[in-house]
Amino acid sequence: MVGWLVASIGVSLILFTLLLLQQVQNRQLTAKLRRLNDEQRTEHLTTFFPSKGNYKLIMEINRFVEEKDWAAQQYRVKEIALHQAISNISHDMRTPLTAILGYIRLLNNPDLTEQERQSYLLIVQERARSLQRLILDFYDLSRLDEGEYQFLMLPLDVNKICLELLAQFYEDFETAGIAINTELLPVGSTVIADESAVIRVINNILQNVRRYGHERLDVTSRIENESLVLSFSNGSKPLKSNELARVFERSFTASSSRENGSTGLGLSICKALLMQMGHSISADYAAGVFTTTIYWNRGREE
């Protein structure tokens, strides 16, 4: 009887001790979690009272802490990108706006000749169109981000659209000293896409060639697996690897001065439009040649 009583007391003491240790452990974990939340930092939790239940709990808490830390890092990256985008937008809008205001002041000069007045008016009109394009580009990007850009997906002959746009750019390229060479497939260039989006994509690429390219532009197409591959290769100034990696970023331009009228949004819009239509785009640079390649998915053509 005495032995049973002693054993019972011993078990009770052990259970009481375990319960006390668990309570101490819980208080310490709670306090540490509170500090982590208050100080907005991350740190793995540890236990001095090992048990299967504690181990699983702490593993889940640490997993939550890691995910919270990852989310915080992603937020900081996006916040930095947003601040940079706002800075670029402000710069891009300020440049044509400053020019417009400056030439308007010049137009108020009563001593201007008619020729000077017409010349200034043309500059104002061009800067106003540049500002309009910039605003429309930002608007389109916001629609793409929010999934509000409406696509009318139909079978389209991409090579035919490309040739028509090249014809429109012919004089611009000739003036810039850029020779055009085309090797497009006579058949098999039909894909499912939105016509206005396809025109916008190819137009943006050709605008990019007009601003940055020189000597020649080679436009080719081929069938590769399930894709119609359309490539634009133009002579280019040297492009560093870090610059190549950023060509599809918003507001990135190879020219830091941005004096050529580029907003850096053209290729970014190309990528967004193509991705949402189920196609893709890539860029490469080698031996003085910059190549933009579109992979039109033909899997849904049937």
Quote the pLDDT of residue 39.
60
Quote the pLDDT of residue 127.
84
Instruction: Work out the average pLDDT over 202-210.
Output: 90
Query: For the chain, how many structural domains are there in total?
Result: 2
Residue 26 has pLDDT above 80, yes or no: no
Quote the pLDDT of residue 302.
40
Quote the pLDDT of residue 295.
94
pLDDT in tens, 33-78: 666 665 665 666 665 555 555 667 677 777 777 777 787 787 787 7
Domain boundary among 127, 149, 171: 149
Domain that holds residue 181: 153-297
Quote the pLDDT of residue 258.
41
Is residue 168 domain-shared with residue 271, that is, in the same domain? yes
Encode burial over 63-93: b for 16+ CB neighbours within 10 A, e otherwise: eebeeeeeeeeeeeeeeeeeeebeebbeebb
CATH number at residue 142: 1.10.287.130
Is residue 110 domain-shared with residue 189, that is, in the same domain? no
> For the chain, how many residues are written?
302
Single out the residue of 192, 178, 204, 200 nearest to residue 228, CA to CA: 192
**Is 210 part of a structural domain of the chain?**
yes
Is residue 281 domain-shared with residue 145, that is, in the same domain? no
Rounded Cα distance, 100 and 2, in Å? 103
The C-alpha R_g of the chain, in whole angstroms, comes to 31
Is residue 184 domain-shared with residue 274, that is, in the same domain? yes
Burial class (CB in 10 A: 0-12, 13-18, 19+), 7: exposed
CB 269, CB 244: distance < 8 Å: no
pLDDT in tens, 141-191: 777 777 777 889 999 999 999 999 999 888 888 888 899 999 988 877 889
pLDDT in tens, 218-229: 999 999 888 899
Residue 12 has pLDDT above 70, yes or no: no
Domain boundary among 149, 179, 206: 149
Quote the pLDDT of residue 94.
80
Quote the pLDDT of residue 42.
61
Fill in the DSSP letter of residue 295. Answer: E
Quote the pLDDT of residue 264.
59
| More confident call, 273 vs 81 | 273
Is residue 281 domain-shared with residue 216, that is, in the same domain? yes
pLDDT in tens, 81-139: 667 666 767 777 787 888 888 888 888 888 888 898 899 899 888 888 878 877 877 77
